[in-house]
Amino acid sequence: MSITRRRFGGLVGASLGVTALRGFALNKKSSAHFSHGVASGDPLKDRVILWTRVLPGDGVDRGLNVEWQVATDTRFAKIVSSGQVFTDISRDFTVKVDAASLEPGIRYFYRFISEGVVSSTGITKTLPVGEVARFKIGIASCSNYPQGFFNAYRDMARQDLDAVVHLGDYIYEYPDGGYANKEALDRLNRHVRPEHEILTLEDYRTRYGVYRTDQDLQKLHQNYPFICVWDDHELTNNTWKAGAENHNEGEGDFFSRIRAARQAYDEWMPIRSHRDGNQGPIYRSFEIGNLADLIMLDTRFHGRDKGFEYAEDVPFISQWYDLSNPTDVRRINANVASNLPAASRQLLKIPFDWRSGEPEPIFNYERVKKLALSDLPGGLRYLPDFDRFKNEFLGNEKRSILGSDQEKWLQKNVERSVNRGASWQILGQQVLMGRLFIPKIAVEDIFESERNGRLVQMMRSMSEQSLPFNLDAWDGYPECRDRVQEMFSDPRTNPVVLAGDTHNAWAFNMKNRIGDNFGVEIGAPGITSPGMESFIPATTEIVEASLRLSSPELAYIDASQRGWSEVTVAPDSVSARWHFVDTILDRNFKVYRTDPMICSLGQRCFSEKRV
């Protein structure tokens, strides 16, 4: 459904603002309009969340009574659960009910009725109990509307799945034309509204509304229950618990923006709501019979400490000086400095003289104290202290990507899973847990036009230091990762980690702190968002080979294609495969499907052989 300005406005009544349509073209001939399809989510063994959005047919701002029905047949002759709810503009005309009194492991049909108008029929499924022979999950992430068509969603909607797990970046917050494909904008008309970066509740609601007009996304929601978590773009880029990279001066109070984003998420997503109507802590767990526990984490916002940036946080090589005797200032080590009064010690950045071709440190106190980064003489440079960065910054035991309360909650859920006899513990979360290091790419393998670029120069100098490729992932919080991996020290656990965020496909055979097999990780490619092919100036083959060489835990990578991941859980194994669409700029597309990678129960790694 194209979102032109004319269609976005539609034939709207004076009392119902244009923005309330959220991209839907209103036709006054109907008494009510189910404007954005139907959806279900957060299934349990006896209940599931049902969702829709309905507008008054005459365009007048008024509330609506909505009937909902759940049946075992498409004709709704056998209704097993039903009820009535009320919606109005205070909830953006969204409807969300927790349909109970259902049986475990059953596929149901559901619909809504308002003002005599019947919605489309949705299909959902409750979680099973007891012995489960198979449970198949579709994994999605990073669906950026102005990058192209959601062809991967359409392919998922055609499959035989039990549930869809969406790992975040369901929407993007950028202004129209920002982080977009020009062809998708100009030829496909994949524009977003509002035109500015979204900041307010009305902005976030409107952006969800535009995304949910997409026919492929509607069909996927209609066919399967979703289990979702947000990543950063449902909030704003590189969010942490008290700020974000993309929340800037002049954009208002950060926490007000987050409250708006969370409320819109609560209204528009088929997720079990909190009592206050504001989507609170999003971490929660699901029992899939005796087969597995799906433990959904919030690694993006709830307790995440601010992430490090190489350009901002790596310290320069420095030297301590003892100032106790001003006529005889001496160099001292950090241990000696820690025992001196603050007035008797000084830490100074040490410049290096490169004029001979080799870096020579300059330690003369009187000279060093007069220098500054902004006016270093020619031939002198400060050098980054990567060892200190790894040991003191990344090695800070207090840093967490989860927060202490979520860490404790996870520990209890892992213990409960083991004690109830679940075979697998599946962690659904946003960012890569596997160790990924900056790749070493030879100069001749870099595209010639980019060989002198700042990114290339930085990567080449840092690749020798065994530094993490992505500090926004668990690699930026290694002590917290060690604590989480220690939670699975019981040999009865079988951890499987799901990740999104990167826009690329991954598989890791993860190791713990002492080098033992920890478990496997399955990373989903982006639905439309571009991957490493968009910022590393080398061929895909070179990038993939270089990452494999630098990162021993990496078992599989596709660095250039869009698509989705499939995870099939069985009592004795977990298998992963990836489905890639050959284009997102045309409705006609082909799909390439990989062979499965298999992790057997108790193995904690993918087998070398592919089936």
Q: What is the pLDDT of residues 5-28, one digit of tens each?
A: 334 444 444 467 667 899 898 877
Q: Across residues 214-237, what is the average pLDDT?
A: 98
Question: Has residue 278 got a pLDDT over 70?
Answer: no
Identify the pLDDT of residue 608: 67
Element housing 209 (H / E)? helix 201-211
Residue found by looking up tokens 């202290």 in the block:
385
Question: Has residue 382 got a pLDDT over 90?
Answer: yes
Identify the pLDDT of residue 611: 38
Cα 169 from Cα 364, distance rounded (Å): 52
Let me know: does 571 contact 423? Beta carbons within 8 Å: yes
Cα 219 from Cα 206, distance rounded (Å): 20
562-570 vs 505-511, strand pairing mode:
unpaired
- Closest-CA residue to 283 (of 410, 418, 423): 410
In the chain, CATH 3.60.21.70 covers 127-308+393-611
Cα separations in angstroms, 598 against 435, 486, 570, 606: 20, 24, 11, 5
Confidence of residue 1 (pLDDT cuts 50, 70, 90): very low
Q: Across residues 192-216, what is the average pLDDT?
A: 98
Identify the pLDDT of residue 393: 97
- CATH number assigned to the domain with residue range 127-308+393-611, chosen from the 4 options 3.40.50.720, 3.40.220.10, 1.10.3720.10, 3.60.21.70: 3.60.21.70
Identify the pLDDT of residue 2: 42
Let me know: does 604 contact 494? Beta carbons within 8 Å: yes
Confidence of residue 457 (pLDDT cuts 50, 70, 90): confident
Identify the pLDDT of residue 92: 96
Identify the pLDDT of residue 498: 98
Per mean pLDDT, which range of 3-12, 84-93, 392-401 is the poorest? 3-12
Question: Considering the chain, what is the average pLDDT of its residues?
Answer: 94
Better-scored residue on pLDDT, 442 or 122: 122
Identify the pLDDT of residue 7: 41
Identify the pLDDT of residue 276: 62
Identify the pLDDT of residue 47: 98
Identify the pLDDT of residue 398: 97
Let me know: does 536 contact 550? Beta carbons within 8 Å: no
Question: Has residue 273 got a pLDDT over 90?
Answer: no
Cα separations in angstroms, 130 against 104, 287, 292: 10, 10, 11
Tokens encoding 162: 């039990």
Q: Strand locations in 167-229, DSSP E?
A: 225-228
For CA atoms 195, 220, 428, 101, the dihedral sign is positive
Residue found by looking up tokens 């129960």 in the block:
601
Sorted by sequence, the CB contacts under 8 Å of residue 60 that are 6+ apart come out as 13, 15, 16
Sorted by sequence, the CB contacts under 8 Å of residue 42 that are 6+ apart come out as 48, 49, 225, 226, 227, 270, 271, 272, 284, 286
Note the pLDDT tens digit of each residue in 230-258.
999 999 999 999 999 999 999 999 999 99
Identify the pLDDT of residue 456: 75
Confidence of residue 279 (pLDDT cuts 50, 70, 90): low
User: Strand, coil or helix: what is 240?
Assistant: strand
Identify the pLDDT of residue 78: 98
For CA atoms 100, 102, 105, 109, the dihedral sign is negative
Tokens encoding 143: 């669906």
Identify the pLDDT of residue 20: 86
Burial class of residue 165 in the structure, from the number of CB atoms within 10 Å of its CB (0-12 exposed, 13-18 middle, 19+ buried): buried
Question: Has residue 461 got a pLDDT over 90?
Answer: no
Identify the pLDDT of residue 450: 84
Question: Has residue 3 got a pLDDT over 70?
Answer: no
Cα 524 from Cα 499, distance rounded (Å): 6
Better-scored residue on pLDDT, 9 or 505: 505
Identify the pLDDT of residue 15: 61
